Structure 1
Amino acid sequence: MTQTSLVELDAAVAECRRCPRLVAWREQVAATRRAAYANETYWGRPVPGFGPPDASLAIVGLAPAAHGGNRTGRMFTGDRSGDVLFQALYDVGLASQPQSKHVGDGLELRGTRITAPVHCAPPANKPTPAERDTCRPWLARELDLLRPTLRAVVVLGAFGWQALLPVLAELRPVPKPAPRFGHGVEVDLGGLRLFGCYHVSQQNTFTGRLTPAMLRDVLARARDAAGLRPGSPRDA
């Protein structure tokens, strides 16, 4: 990876075609479109992370949604999982508004960057282990570029947790055996605090496995660990 900035990295991510199954699926979805979005032009490409380049908090999800990020070009934007996440980020002072419907809607993240271990929308929201591993260098380079300011990471779901730990192990010591995922789990990695949180999937939020209060609690703890103040940019 030769990218020297997140701007360069994001541009390179958006051109990636390394996983044939994911390329075919994301482009098929973009061509056929959902009826509710029939008049929209889908992004239909890998979705890069977004947020300030000096973020002290990262949120790591799973992969873009077929009719969410794959449509809008921005992680979690335009889908129901994003509705839950952005509301919670707003509630704890990490987002400028409680929803995000499209790129250019005015949303700004405060000291926070959102990304994922897989940048293309996968069929049935299930990337394969091989696709996860093929996409890993993008996440590794992203975290490396964030390393000077990054202080905390929230991982949404076990898939993201399992994908992230090998990446972190390349950048800093990780305990062995590796810490296990669980909601509310907090791990000190020597200057970086890792937080586990159930994914904001509809399956979790509709059934009450993950409530807004549970999500806010983890985000607030991570916000504090990252040295962020509610409603204000990251302190230099």
Structure 2
Amino acid sequence: MKVFSTIAELDAAVVDCRACPRLVAWREEVAVTKRAAFAGQTYWGRPVPGFGPVDASMAIVGLAPSAHGANRTGRMFTGDPSGDVLFRALHEVGLASQPTSTHQGDGLELRGVRMVAPVRCAPPANKPAPDERHNCGAWLSAELSLLAPTLRSIVVLGAFGWQALLPVLAEVGWPVPSPRPKFGHGVEADVGELRLFGCYHVSQRNVQTRLLTHSMVCDVLSSAAARAGLF
């Protein structure tokens, strides 16, 4: 992959990616068929770049765009129930300018935090295939390389993101421990000067079953922000 000199250059390349035929077909089909509630809207229907300041000291790693969320709006976690949970918590702890995220241009700004994903296209059934995760790993590697000078903490939402992140960190040059740390909610792991914070994914299922609560998300975000020097 090309070496990018800026995140803006990387983002511009990400949105033109067509490396995974299954994901390309799915994201574009969803953008045409749409959900009834959004029938009058124009879907993004492309890979979704990272979101947040390019000199962030904290990152949030999710899984992939949702079909009718970021695949519709073009911005990570925007326009879906998972994002509603996450942005409310980010706002409460002082990392987002507002508690809701509905569309690009809605005024939302993140403070010291950048959102990234191991997979940049919406996958069918929210389950990317191993080769798709591998292909997208190159984008994550490039983004983390550009963030490396300022990055001090990463909140990882869910086991998938944790498993996808560790080999990428090793590839970028961070000293990942062996054996690799295991995911768990509230788990913290140091990778050189970088600290990872595990958090259950902010999915509807986890929230509705109370496996994950608002206060639990806020606690993890606050700890990661403190480690990143944002408080």
3-state DSSP class of the match of 2:166? helix
2:75 corresponds in structure 1 to: 74
Q: Does 1:48 align with 2:49?
A: yes
Q: How many residues align?
A: 229
Give the SS at the match of 1:36: helix
Is 2:59 the counterpart of 1:22? no
1:98 matches 2:99: yes
The residue number in structure 1 matching 2:190 is: 188
* 1:178 and 2:180 correspond: yes
Q: Which residue of 2 aligns with 1:65?
A: 66
Q: C-alpha distance in 2, partners of 1:99/1:34?
A: 21
User: What is the alpha-carbon distance in structure 2 between the residues aligned to residue 205 and residue 4 of structure 1?
Assistant: 39
Secondary structure of 2:29's match? Answer: helix
Looking at structure 2, the residues matched to 95 and 55 of structure 1 have their Cα atoms a distance apart, in angstroms, of 13
The DSSP-based 3-state class of the residue aligned with 2:197 is strand
Q: How does 1:138-217 map to 2 (within 5 A)?
A: 138-170=139-171, 171-217=173-219
Which consecutive residues of structure 2, in runs of 5 or more, have no partner in the other structure?
Answer: none
Q: Give the superposition deviation at 1:130.
A: 1.2
Aligned to 1:131: 132
In the superposition, the TM-score normalised over structure 1's length comes to 0.96
- Which of 220, 224, 227 in structure 2 is aligned with 1:225? 227
Superposed CA deviations along residues 43-64 of structure 1, whole A, max 9, x for unmatched, are 0000000100100000000000
SS at match of 1:217: helix
1:172, distance to aligned residue in structure 2 (A): 1.2
The amino acid of 2:23's aligned partner reads L
Q: Do the aligned residues in 1 keep the contact of 2:176 with 2:192 (CA within 8 Å)?
A: no
For residues 168-225 of structure 1, the C-alpha deviation after alignment (integer angstroms, 9 at most, x for no partner) is 1122111111000000000111210001000001110111001001100000000000
Give the partner amino acid of 2:124.
P
Compute the RMSD of aligned alpha carbons.
0.5
Runs of 4+ in structure 1 deviating by more than 6 angstroms, as ranges, are: none
Distance 1:104 1:135 in 2: 26
The superposition leaves residues 71-95 of structure 1 with CA deviations (integer Å, 9 ceiling, x where unpaired) of 0000000000000000000011000
Partner of 1:233: none
SS in 2 for 1:168: helix
Q: How many Å separate the matches in 2 of 1:129 and 1:200? A: 22
Paired with 2:28 and 2:229, the residues of 1 have a C-alpha distance of 40
SS of equivalent to 2:196: strand
Alignment of 1:102-113 (within 5 A): 102-113=103-114
SS at 1:221 equivalent: helix
Q: What is the distance in 2 between the residues matched to 1:200 and 1:169?
A: 26
Stretches of structure 1 that go unaligned for 5 or more consecutive residues are 230-236
1:2 to partner: Cα distance: 2.1
**What per-residue deviation string (whole Å, max 9, x for no partner) do you get for residues 143-169 of structure 1?**
000001000000000000000000111
